[in-house]
């Protein structure tokens, strides 16, 4: 079971037209898609996910509904996907980044540092290197860079060294084994109550394995030409690396002019394509955080095509 985050807020932000066309880039358990679908009369929603298990669940959930189209695709390639499906411009596109509870709870997928399973972490197991390939083969320097950049782990050098020292004796194959080695590399006085010391390293490996930030950046670049005037885009992020990208792109779309401030008139010719609807990101209420602690770091940002 996956509890959709900021569900009412997202549906409201999308300003759904009952006859509109929408794209949910991250179908997951289909909670957001179902809420959007309920607002449609003659409209249609395309629901994407890169994970074949999610696609199976979504197909079951929306079986027999001709207004919901489920497709296994990576949102990184959204313009190509839209072209392939012959959709044309749409009324709204949204994404709810990160992993679903299904992925976290299925220990064998390798996402969770609390449930033992093979160290895989690929959302699409047919796409790219697994976390096991990464920790067993990358240089200490490259591992350190990934753990620093995508995990913002200040003990990245110690963690990378501990991984390489251990794999020279015995290669990694399971999650808990890696989690314990990382825990041993983070000084005990920096272990926080309620957060496993390997959380940042696991996040970094997951982001790298799934090329998550590359995909998000490509999606943010791609949406500009896919939405009709007055249409909306909305993105739910779960950590600062994701939110920073969303914010940067929305600001750039709203104020694209690159002329120096002393220019009396714009000479670069770049015109705004989106207005930012959320000056400050929308965050979950205290009640939502209490009911679903996984929502605590969520931020929703919304833009409207002009
Ligand atoms: C947080 S969950 C979404 C939950 C969903 N909104 C719901 O209501 O159940 C994120 C989902 O996005 C998918 N995902 C992550 N990156 C993706 C990408 N680049 N392309 C397509 N799907 C992706 C994951 O497989 C996961 O199922």
For ligand 1, the distance from its centroid to the CA atom of residue 239, given in whole angstroms, is 15
Q: How far apart are the CA of 70 and the centre of ligand 1, in A? A: 13
Position of tokens 């926080």?
Answer: 192
Q: Is 43 in the pocket of ligand 1 (CB under 6 A)?
A: no
Residue closest via CA to ligand 1's atom 13 equals 26
What's residue 171's pLDDT?
A: 98
The Å distance, Cα 143 to ligand 1 centre, comes to 25
Q: Residue count of the chain, please give it.
A: 306
Residue with CA at minimum distance from ligand 1 atom 20: 74
Ligand 1 centre to CA of 164 (Å) is 32
Burial 72-82 (b: 16+ CB within 10 A, else e): bbbbbbbeebb
Q: Ligand 1 centre from 83 Cα, in Å?
A: 21
For ligand 1, is residue 32 a contact (CB within 6 Å)?
Answer: yes
- Distance (Å, rounded) from C-alpha 280 to C-alpha 15? 18
Distance 123 CA to ligand 1 centre (A): 9
Q: According to the model, what pLDDT value does residue 50 have?
A: 98
Cα 299 from Cα 296, distance rounded (Å): 9
Half-sphere exposure of 38 (CA within 13 A, CB side): 9
- pLDDT value at residue 194: 83
Asked whether 2 lines ligand 1 (CB < 6 A), one says yes
CA of 247 to the centre of ligand 1 (A): 20
| Ligand 1 centroid, distance to 160 Cα (angstroms) | 29
Q: What are phi and psi of 75, to 5 degrees?
A: -65, -10
Which amino acid residue places its CA nearest to atom 24 of ligand 1?
A: 99
Digit-by-digit pLDDT tens for the chain (306 residues) are: 789 999 999 999 999 999 999 999 999 999 999 999 999 999 999 999 999 999 999 999 999 999 999 999 999 999 999 999 999 999 999 999 989 999 988 888 999 988 899 999 999 999 999 999 999 999 999 999 999 999 999 999 999 999 999 999 999 999 999 999 999 999 999 998 888 999 999 999 999 999 999 999 999 999 999 999 999 999 999 999 999 999 999 999 999 999 998 999 999 999 999 999 999 999 999 999 999 999 999 999 999 999
Among protein residues, the one whose CA lies closest to atom 25 of ligand 1: 51
Q: Is the CB of 76 under 6 A from ligand 1?
A: yes
**Ligand 1, closest atom to CA 95?**
6
φ/ψ region of 142 (left if φ > 0, alpha if ψ in -120 to 50, else beta) reads alpha
pLDDT at 1: 77
pLDDT score of 187: 94
Distance from Cα 100 to the centre of ligand 1, integer Å? 7
Nearest-angstrom CA–CA distance, 239 and 222: 21
Domains and CATH numbers, the chain: 7-102+213-305 (3.40.50.150), 124-209 (1.10.150.170)
Answer whether 123 contacts ligand 1 (Cβ < 6 A): yes
Substitution site in 24, 26, 111 for ligand 1 pocket (most atoms within 8 Å of beta carbon)? 26
The pLDDT assigned to 99 comes to 93
222 lines ligand 1 (CB under 6 A): no
């Amino acid at each position: 079971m996956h509890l959709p985050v900021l569900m009412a807020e997202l549906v409201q932000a999308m300003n759904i037209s009952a006859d509109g066309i929408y794209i949910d880039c991250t179908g997951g358990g289909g909670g957001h898609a179902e809420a959007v679908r309920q607002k449609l009369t003659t409209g249609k929603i395309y629901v994407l996910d890169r994970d074949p298990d999610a696609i199976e669940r979504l197909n079951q959930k929306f079986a027999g509904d001709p207004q919901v189209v489920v497709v296994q695709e990576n949102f990184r390639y959204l313009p190509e996907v839209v072209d392939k499906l012959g959709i044309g411009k749409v009324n709204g596109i949204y994404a709810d980044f990160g992993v679903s509870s299904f992925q976290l709870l299925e220990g064998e997928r390798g996402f969770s540092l609390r449930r033992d399973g093979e160290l895989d972490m690929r959302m699409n197991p047919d796409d790219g290197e697994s976390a096991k390939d990464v920790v067993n083969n990358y240089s200490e320097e490259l591992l350190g860079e990934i753990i620093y950049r995508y995990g913002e782990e200040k003990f990245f050098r110690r963690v990378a060294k501990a991984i390489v020292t251990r794999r020279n004796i015995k290669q990694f194959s399971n999650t808990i084994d890696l989690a314990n080695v990382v825990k041993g590399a983070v000084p005990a006085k920096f272990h926080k109550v309620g957060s496993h010391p390997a959380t940042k390293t696991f996040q970094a490996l997951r982001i790298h394995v799934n090329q998550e930030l590359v995909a998000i950046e490509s999606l943010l670049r791609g949406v500009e030409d896919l939405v009709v005037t007055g249409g909306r885009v909305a993105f739910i992020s779960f950590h600062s690396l994701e939110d920073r990208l969303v914010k940067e792109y929305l600001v750039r779309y709203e104020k694209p002019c690159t002329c120096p401030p002393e220019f009396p008139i714009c000479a670069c010719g770049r015109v705004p394509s989106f207005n930012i609807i959320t000056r400050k990101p929308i965050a979950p209420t205290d009640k939502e955080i209490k009911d679903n602690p996984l929502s605590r770091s969520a931020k929703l940002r919304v833009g409207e095509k002009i």
